[in-house]
Structure 1
């Protein structure tokens, strides 16, 4: 008699996998979605950031032209034009082009809108620029002379912003002066990313009060000239208020504008992917535990342990592949939506508002897909190894926990990981990025999850000696006797909850600190800001007119100018204001200023970026000289990420020679209507400056600032919401799977007289207990991770500090939702598990 054909073990294993997914498709979907969410977020953030950076770099190159090197003024006031001939005669310099560069505005009447259109106004010597930056030269369509003093050439972006056509008249305001020009042509080679206007350099100097000044010199080196030697020769000729900038310096400076913001978003997305990996681990562990007798049967039929391990890992890889593919598609859609709603910097406000065209990046898609697949494989490896190590004879009759309940779960692996996370948090930044900080968060997350069996036992221990009703006692005994399965159930809860808690605490702390800071720096009733006042502001006469306005009780004038301290860093902001020690939010100790020295107060980022502290001295490149100042203290500033220096008003004027001011803080007389006062002040400014003046009350400024904050953290809020959803879905999937896997157990309980209602109560109690343990662990771990974000990641990324604030109402709601979800899901899943099928399932054991 011929024996019936039996499939080989590998074929049977393949059938088993397919059958598992057919029977429980939700488990496959949830695992794939968990990976898809992390991949989608990471890919979307990367795609938007790279596209926005490319657009921003094009805009920078558009303004800078194609020069080999540039000499840039340390401040918008520029440097003496006498530097130009010295540079032009420097050995190795083939050509040099002098440039006047100022911020200009097309008047509101010109644009037909309420707000003037800003653009960069360049004054060029056409003959010199032709040899260095020909892309910045405009030619009239009729080939008429480009030297016409009435002619102006606009980029397409400027033409669109000004709502003008060729041949139209346009009025530009710059340096407190308005002048009209005829649009003679388009800058055809500047692209659509930057609003630029070009006129003759002599007209720029004469018409906009820049006589004897230049803001930059573009340089083309002689062919074959050693760049390092040329830069050394040029640097030797530079005054203190000029900086030599290479294309690499410009790239580094522009990249630094948003580098920390971009990296932080991508790291948060990767943490979300790691959380998804824990959910995959949870799902795979439950699936393996439920199928342990089936795997044991395959082992008896001849399947080797290694082949079984590969089989389970392949399951995870397929889940990862599906999730990664879905994540790439969702990520591209999210990126397109983010660009539309938030702009190219995801609401950060760091890269301007240039037009951004989203480009798909196949290499980036492949990298993020591989990361997603790798996370899924790694998440399946531990369950696979456990299944391969199981004894077939025992596993054939045991689908429960593999750990002997008499053995106390080890807590040292979790403690080791937590300790390593703490050590990583103490590390310095790497390449000015908090890479060790994020490593610390990953280690803390892994340590918290690894410690769950031990922690669950520790939290359940006080309940062991209580006299409880039978259903509650059964629930407690089940969790005590199956710590590994309890830990698997807790894994997804703890991972998603801790991530959400960490981000919520960080954002709440940051927002609260910003709000407190705004209250400190905005004590007056009305504030005035002159837009585009880098090269000129309110002169003493205008200041006197404003101070004499009826309704003004007191007015303080301030001046802010960008100051370039290093060629490869973004400029800092130099501020002059009356009595800074009494008006800025100082932190830490202040140092008495030695007699005869100038006191300077630096913001927190200056401490990190320039390695400065109170008591140090630094030199400021002002007025063609290097001016020494004494650092008397540090102040908190959330508005300027790249640093600010504050001087007393009289010292600012003495060092810069600038008596104009660009801002004012106004205290109103009792009974004064702020709106009427603003109208009177605007009239006293005159039509030119009045068009550039922006007035606001403190409540409006706070509302705008917090709105910008919320916009900047929109992606973080989205991550929080996703973490909550992942946590709730993970809870539902975990308890549903565990409950269905215990059908025989429930059948045995029914056989010995336990009623269905009591089993349902037991399941709800199990779910509630696990939910409470998960919430406690998730909250504790999340608060710990938030301290890494607050005290490590943020200072190393953005160079400012904040005070911790715990959003207790949010956490109370989260705890209630997770506990209810755990209890409710377990009870709902139990309705099927305690049916008549459960009683029949017991027969399989006989």
Structure 2
């Protein structure tokens, strides 16, 4: 195709600016959202990986355990191995900063060993400081970012248990990367200050010359005690990537759905453009234009829309990424990279990929209109009324295709996740949306028969046209169906999740008052003497202490949370399934203690109630019987609950992170809170009522799902704009029909009412199909995508009233928008319109 012919097709985009702009913005939104997620997550992962490599230094292998660490005797065993050239012990703690909302990560190192393995952790004493300050128990060396947190102070307080220790800043950690906030202390000082005597978090190993890393890892693996693993330094990035993958993939799929909606809008606008320009194409064909050139021309229009939308999406995506880095750093909104402050890195390959997706969406949307335009016979297309025949062809029933899409969707829902990604679920969603568009003609006829209650002439004309030409509803309603389906599925999924979380909170928060020394990862805790004092307070009925630990059970994934608390045989847990009572004890004659696992571990470890689970506790592997599976929305990486009495017997660890306090009278909560703050210090503990925790949790939930609410609003606007663009184009193609009605005595405002009726009927059919498709998509999101991504179950809850109001609003708004969009076509002289038509 030569440039002049290509320019002819490109110029047509400017003749319908509203429809072209709408399609362009839909493509831009999908590209921008997907690109922003990719850039934010990629930059955060890259920064995290660089940080991990920096902290690992020249280490070839790392020995890592749970958060509480492992016995330091393992260091002496590994340091004497012939495969090991250098071994550097490390203990890592999240030191709680009293009176602040955050903690400080502190690494305890052997200053005589760290220089040979981890140069980035070598402390540097301030000028004029004591040369032995690195061995002082009360000194700490901070990175530039960590020092900025202290607001110029030379000393600050850290919490261990409910006690406070003052640390003096003695120098810097010059090897740290910009933006990394942490401190370095002598390893013995950290063990003493934070009550970790004899424990290590990690051992970094440099191998002897000539020793291959994988061979050494396999050899040394036999020396690892239960719960301790040996891995490469790069594995830490893989763990955080596995944890954040589900959140990132689901955000990316939202972007893909936005792109799909954009593709349907391009389909609608391109098809209407082809209908309106049918005579123009017939003339070009009569003058010698080949079918292939006409096909390429219409595809160029769609591809150009996708290209411009993709370019705009790239700009928006980079802008959103920069804004996200400024406001929330590298966090994706779910707490995976809270302390990461990455920088934007422009990747030509990523930009090219997303630009190609935008172009692909434009070309795909224009394919069917382009094919039908090329197939049209010039002699037929030049006749009056031929455009109606084209629209009528779209309304032909396609029952086999609909059944095929639905059957295939049901089949792919059974597929297991691929690389931890619910590919089958997302394919099923795409198939359901395609089936919804294909079934629209039949549903339009059903809707017309269903609404047979009007006897007015205009109402009967509107019903008669849609009944005779349901293809008009397909063109106008494709965007409505996809946008309504997206809005409905998100509403049902979020409502179900919110109601399930609310019910879950009611089950896991039975006490009147909750006391926390610190988050489970920080250094604050309560000991046995503190618990005894609390239980002796007047008005305290009972206490339920909770100890949170971590265990390494799954290779390549973050540690699993171990919770030790009294669960009353599982009665106090939100159970979803329980094991059948044992008959005759265990197979070896000794009954195993009970353990309750979260749903995540059912999927990741292939467990079920009644099966055996070995846990590394107290330096050995202890067998447990899975007594039940419980619902847990707080820990995506999985959780295990055991009775606290068994935990104390196995570990002798009597520390507690949280305490649930039952009161004899709930009205004593304020009085008890004052006594607790007076005893332990207001800045060292957190106290909250049950309703306060519930309200805060639901507020966090709503903030987390804010993006889905925004997507629903965008979907509604896209659907309404799609109706407006469609009826504006259809009104232009029907100028002759309107002129004839004018000659028969129908006034302009009555034609506007006719178009309003058609718009309302079209929207009703689209909303009806969109609601059904949205319900199916919501089921796939809840039962397939959510289960395979986050391993959570939830109870389905349909916000019936809200969806009914939403559907009614869409129909009424469409009825108002349609005549406004068609107003320009109705202004033309009736005589002139008839002359043009004939």
Q: Same fold (TM over 0.5)?
A: yes
Tell me what 1:86 maps to. Answer: 77
Match of 1:542 among 530, 533, 540: 530
The alpha-carbon distance between structure 1 residues 151 and 364, as it changes in their structure 2 partners (threshold 3 A), is same
TM-score w.r.t. the length of structure 1 is 0.93
Tell me what 2:33 maps to. Answer: 41
Match of 2:559 among 571, 588, 591: 571
Larger mean CA deviation between 188-197 and 225-234 belongs to: 188-197
For the pair 1:97 / 2:88, whether they are aligned, the reply is yes
* C-alpha displacement of 1:176: 5.1
Question: CA separation in 2, counterparts of 1:620 and 1:88?
Answer: 27
* C-alpha displacement of 1:801: 0.6
Tell me what 2:490 maps to. Answer: 503
Match of 2:575 among 586, 602, 607: 586
Match of 2:252 among 262, 266, 278: 266
Tell me what 2:605 maps to. Answer: 610
Tell me what 1:630 maps to. Answer: 625
Q: Deviations over 1:590-620 (max 9, x none)?
A: 3335463110000111111111111111111
Question: CA separation in 1, counterparts of 2:4 and 2:63?
Answer: 73
The alpha-carbon distance between structure 1 residues 762 and 172, as it changes in their structure 2 partners (threshold 3 A), is closer
Alpha carbons 1:71, 1:217 under 8 Å: kept: yes
* C-alpha displacement of 1:671: 6.2
Match of 2:314 among 328, 340, 350: 328
Larger mean CA deviation between 527-536 and 119-128 belongs to: 527-536
For the pair 1:402 / 2:397, whether they are aligned, the reply is no
The alpha-carbon distance between structure 1 residues 759 and 57, as it changes in their structure 2 partners (threshold 3 A), is same
Alpha carbons 1:74, 1:621 under 8 Å: kept: no
Match of 2:43 among 35, 39, 51: 51
* C-alpha displacement of 1:11: 7.3
* C-alpha displacement of 1:522: 0.7
Question: CA separation in 1, counterparts of 2:4 and 2:830?
Answer: 26
The alpha-carbon distance between structure 1 residues 119 and 571, as it changes in their structure 2 partners (threshold 3 A), is same
CA RMSD, Structure 1 to Structure 2 (Å): 2.3
Match of 1:787 among 772, 779, 784: 779
The alpha-carbon distance between structure 1 residues 54 and 19, as it changes in their structure 2 partners (threshold 3 A), is closer
* C-alpha displacement of 1:368: 0.8
For the pair 1:484 / 2:471, whether they are aligned, the reply is yes
Tell me what 2:677 maps to. Answer: 682
The alpha-carbon distance between structure 1 residues 90 and 794, as it changes in their structure 2 partners (threshold 3 A), is same
Tell me what 1:426 maps to. Answer: 414
* C-alpha displacement of 1:424: 1.3
Match of 1:239 among 194, 219, 225: 225
Question: CA separation in 2, counterparts of 1:779 and 1:532?
Answer: 43
Larger mean CA deviation between 809-818 and 633-642 belongs to: 809-818
For the pair 1:162 / 2:150, whether they are aligned, the reply is yes
Question: CA separation in 1, counterparts of 2:752 and 2:471?
Answer: 22
For the pair 1:219 / 2:205, whether they are aligned, the reply is yes
Alpha carbons 1:526, 1:696 under 8 Å: kept: yes
* C-alpha displacement of 1:175: 4.9
Question: CA separation in 2, counterparts of 1:533 and 1:331?
Answer: 36
Larger mean CA deviation between 290-299 and 222-231 belongs to: 222-231
Larger mean CA deviation between 305-314 and 323-332 belongs to: 323-332
The alpha-carbon distance between structure 1 residues 217 and 407, as it changes in their structure 2 partners (threshold 3 A), is closer
Question: CA separation in 2, counterparts of 1:625 and 1:266?
Answer: 42
Alpha carbons 2:440, 2:765 under 8 Å: kept: no
* C-alpha displacement of 1:814: 2.1
Tell me what 2:740 maps to. Answer: 748
Q: Deviations over 1:487-508 (max 9, x none)?
A: 1111111011111111111111
* C-alpha displacement of 1:152: 2.0
Query: What is the aligned length?
Result: 825
Tell me what 2:639 maps to. Answer: 644
Tell me what 1:337 maps to. Answer: 323
* C-alpha displacement of 1:776: 0.3
Question: CA separation in 2, counterparts of 1:648 and 1:836?
Answer: 81
* C-alpha displacement of 1:748: 2.2
Match of 2:434 among 423, 432, 446: 446
Matches within 5 A, 1:227-306: 227-306=213-292
Matches within 5 A, 1:8-87: 13-14=5-6, 16-17=8-9, 20-76=12-68, 78-87=69-78
Larger mean CA deviation between 625-634 and 587-596 belongs to: 587-596
* C-alpha displacement of 1:271: 1.0
Question: CA separation in 1, counterparts of 2:679 and 2:667?
Answer: 17
The alpha-carbon distance between structure 1 residues 132 and 831, as it changes in their structure 2 partners (threshold 3 A), is closer
Alpha carbons 2:56, 2:117 under 8 Å: kept: no
Larger mean CA deviation between 383-392 and 714-723 belongs to: 714-723
* C-alpha displacement of 1:517: 0.6
Alpha carbons 1:284, 1:380 under 8 Å: kept: yes
Give structure 2 stretches of 5+ with no counterpart: none
Q: Deviations over 1:754-791 (max 9, x none)?
A: 44344333222111111110110111101110100000
Question: CA separation in 2, counterparts of 1:303 and 1:618?
Answer: 73
The alpha-carbon distance between structure 1 residues 507 and 671, as it changes in their structure 2 partners (threshold 3 A), is closer
Matches within 5 A, 1:102-251: 102-106=93-97, 108=98, 114-115=99-100, 117-142=102-127, 144-145=131-132, 147-149=134-136, 150-164=138-152, 168-175=154-161, 177-251=163-237
* C-alpha displacement of 1:23: 3.2
Question: CA separation in 2, counterparts of 1:364 and 1:425?
Answer: 29
Larger mean CA deviation between 716-725 and 270-279 belongs to: 716-725
Question: CA separation in 1, counterparts of 2:225 and 2:762?
Answer: 69
Name the SS for the 1:152 alignment partner.
strand
Alpha carbons 2:393, 2:471 under 8 Å: kept: no
Question: CA separation in 2, counterparts of 1:130 and 1:286?
Answer: 71
Larger mean CA deviation between 369-378 and 145-154 belongs to: 145-154
Q: Deviations over 1:629-660 (max 9, x none)?
A: 11010000100011111111211112222122
